[in-house]
Amino acid sequence: IRKPVIGTYRGYEIISMGPPSSGGVCLIELLNILENFDLKKYGFGSSYTIHYLVEAMKRVYADRAEYLGDPDFVEIPLEKLLSKEYAKTIANEIDTLFATPSSKIVRSVSPPEEGSHTTHYSVVDKWGNVVSVTTTINSYFGSMVAVDGAGFFLNNEMDDFSAKPGTPNQFGLLGNKANSIQPGKRMLSSMTPTIVLKNGKPFLILGSPGGSTIITSVLQVILNVIDFGMNIQEAVDAPRIHHQWYPDVVYYEKRGLPLDVIENLGKRGHKLVERRGFQGEVQAILIDENGVKYGAADPRGYGFAMGY
């Protein structure tokens, strides 16, 4: 049994998956950085908001590549990565007007593009117990080897290791020796099943499939609720962006950004690419102050919300 990682964001408590998943660490580090900016003032989808999101994402994915792996095999500076002080130093590095090229965010790994078959579900029972679960076989159909008579595919999670540090895996993610292959070691993932508490009580239960985009998908739903005041379905439906340090590209969903925002971000030095498909498939539950539960299934996928 692994311990979760715990942080805070604007008075809310964030509980998420710890290593060997990178999801919780990266999510909390991102929130800690973004807490230094008044996103509510800038507004959802503005060039300023997206600029700060992207610049934070670059730096956090660089830390992911540098430090994260199986804690049974490598020493991870968790206290540093989860600290508000470290996040403040990163926030202070971010230029308010111009993009920092990924090549200038230096780590010991540098480049020469996770699973497409991941499932997430969020559950609340009648007693108020909450569960956030993400499972995966990594790529579509995993290893493409099915177990005779059992009806399921074996995974190809070995690709989540850094078989050759500095060379990207199938999702473009770079890794360091911290995530190299060793006997008995667990590979690094991006799974980010998360529970958000408000005044000590469950408020948000969420997660997503999507490989390297899981972290940024979960992040943006949390921001949409806490900073931008959306209801849970609006927060899940809203268009998303993604940057993972390398390649040095901001991916955005089709018709997800207005032309003026695209032009403004381009002038700031960001390289933008419209996705061919969608980003993530968040399944979420929000529990309001009266105990009313609101379920939201992402229209990007085939999930649905149901009650009891």
pLDDT of residue 170: 60
pLDDT exceeds cutoff 50 at 113: no
129 is in an annotated binding site: no
Best CA proximity match to 202, nearest among 131, 135, 297:
131
Phi, psi (degrees; rounded to nearest 5) at 65: -65, -35
Q: In percent, how much of the chain has pLDDT > 90? A: 76
pLDDT tens-place string over residues 43-93? 999 999 999 999 999 999 999 999 999 999 999 999 999 999 999 999 999
Rounded distance, CA 79 to CA 204, Å? 25
Domains in the chain with CATH codes: 5-107+119-135+187-297 (3.60.20.40)
pLDDT tens-place string over residues 152-168? 888 887 877 876 666 66
Best CA proximity match to 280, nearest among 130, 119, 128:
119
Phi, psi (degrees; rounded to nearest 5) at 80: -65, -50
What does the angle CA 106 – CA 109 – CA 115 come to, to the nearest 5 degrees?
A: 115
pLDDT tens-place string over residues 136-150? 887 777 888 989 889
pLDDT exceeds cutoff 90 at 272: yes
Q: Is 257 helix (H, G, I), strand (E, B) or coil?
A: coil
Whether 255 and 278 have beta carbons less than 8 Å apart is answered as no
Query: Predicted confidence band at 173 (pLDDT cuts at 50, 70, 90)?
Result: low
Beta-ladder partners of 294: 286
Whether 13 and 6 have beta carbons less than 8 Å apart is answered as yes
> What is the radius of gyration, based on Cα positions, of the chain?
18
190 is in an annotated binding site: yes
Rounded distance, CA 135 to CA 299, Å? 20
211 is in an annotated binding site: yes
pLDDT tens-place string over residues 178-219? 887 889 988 889 999 999 999 999 999 999 999 899 999 999
pLDDT exceeds cutoff 60 at 114: no
Query: Predicted confidence band at 8 (pLDDT cuts at 50, 70, 90)?
Result: very high
pLDDT of residue 144: 83
Q: Tell me the average pLDDT across 115-123.
A: 79
96 is in an annotated binding site: no
How confident is the prediction for the chain on average, in pLDDT? 92
As annotated, the active-site residues are: 118
